[in-house]
Amino acid sequence: MCFRHGDNSGGFLMKTKRIAAALLGACLALPAWAVDPAGVVVARINGTELLLGDVEEARSLLPAELQNAPLGAVYPLLLDSLVNSRLTSDEAMRQGLHEGGEYRRRMARVADQILERMLLARHIEAQVTDAKVRERYDDLVTRMKKESEVRTRHILVEDEAQAKALVKKLDGGEDFAQLARDNSLDASRADGGELGWVGPFTRFRDYYKAASALKPGKHSAQPVQTDFGWHVIEALEVRPVTMPAFEALKPTLVGELSAELGQDLVKSLRDKAEVEKMSYEELVMTLKK
């Protein structure tokens, strides 16, 4: 256990691995210019201008670790991808694909998605302030004072019946470490089932909930199920939660706050709207007619 801007984005996103390799040898950043960089023409494709702003927008669709890379590291590949996208798009229009019903339906859906993202971005950016993020952190610090971290060991098995049988053996006085060595499915069996410290920030919430309810030296009376299987848990030590620094948690807090703001906005819109939906059962009946 171990604890678009549009339809042309696909081409350069598929080149992520090549871009990452290029980063190894790249160290150039775009210098400051006297003109607006976004308006600089960086290519012409059959007379159509491609701007540096288009390249920057394409860069914003890359994975986070590449978005912050120096422009010189990703510029050549992004530019080639945008050129290729323009050429294929122009050819599709030459063949009249933009005049069909399928194109219009797809473009309507893309327009809806763009407007949705623009509205959510504007709404969230206006409300996610440093003060609100700091307040969220301070609230978390207060809540964590009631929580603890637990050093645990466990025995991991495939099914509940086997886990319950192990609980009975422990109740009868058998050694936890030896039972872990003989029965546990994961690598921790070599250390008698020891997993180290687990705290409230873990994604294995059920495991932590069961572990934090135990006193040191006590094992769980009932096995706990996770995606890995069934656990029999013993608490070894308990200590206060070690809170990460604000800056370390800030990206997570911003993400949580942004998600909540987006959900609240959508809920408020739904509350004010008249929405009629066909149930799946009604759909099936309609299709059968």
Find out whether 187 and 206 touch, Cβ atoms under 8 Å. no
**Can you read off the two tokens belonging to residue 243?**
């809170």
Residue 81, number of CB atoms within 10 A of its CB = 22
On whether both 221 and 151 belong to a single domain, the answer is yes
**In total, how many domains does the chain have?**
2
What pLDDT does 33 receive?
Answer: 52
CATH number at residue 160: 3.10.50.40
What pLDDT does 201 receive?
Answer: 83
What pLDDT does 19 receive?
Answer: 42
- End residue of a domain, out of 72, 95, 118: 95
On the question of pLDDT at 3 being above 70, the answer is: no
247-251's contacts with Cβ under 8 Å and 24+ in sequence apart are 249/137, 249/140, 250/133, 250/137
- End residue of a domain, out of 222, 240, 258: 240
On whether both 236 and 152 belong to a single domain, the answer is yes
Residue 44 lies in a domain: yes
On whether both 153 and 231 belong to a single domain, the answer is yes
What pLDDT does 79 receive?
Answer: 92
Residue 120 lies in a domain: no
On whether both 81 and 155 belong to a single domain, the answer is no
Q: What is the residue whose two structure tokens read 């040191």?
A: 216
State the first-to-last Cα distance of the chain, in angstroms, to the nearest integer: 52
- End residue of a domain, out of 54, 74, 95: 95
Residue 260 lies in a domain: no
Residue 24 lies in a domain: yes
Task: For residue 200, give Cα distances in angstroms to 16, 102, 150, 184.
Answer: 34, 49, 10, 24
Model confidence pLDDT, tens digit, residues 8-56:
434 433 444 444 444 333 433 445 555 577 788 999 999 999 999 899 8
In angstroms, the CA 120 to CA 132 distance is: 18
Domain containing residue 48: 9-95
On whether both 166 and 231 belong to a single domain, the answer is yes
pTM: 0.55
One DSSP character per residue, 244-264 reads PPHHHHHHHHHHHHHHHHHHH
- Which three-class secondary structure state does DSSP give residue 42? strand
Q: For the residues 213-234, what does the mean pLDDT come to? A: 95
Sequence-distant (≥ 6) Cβ neighbours of residue 149 within 8 angstroms:
197, 198, 199, 200, 238, 239, 240, 241, 242
Residue 20 lies in a domain: yes
Residue 1 lies in a domain: no
Residue 125 lies in a domain: no
Residue 41 lies in a domain: yes
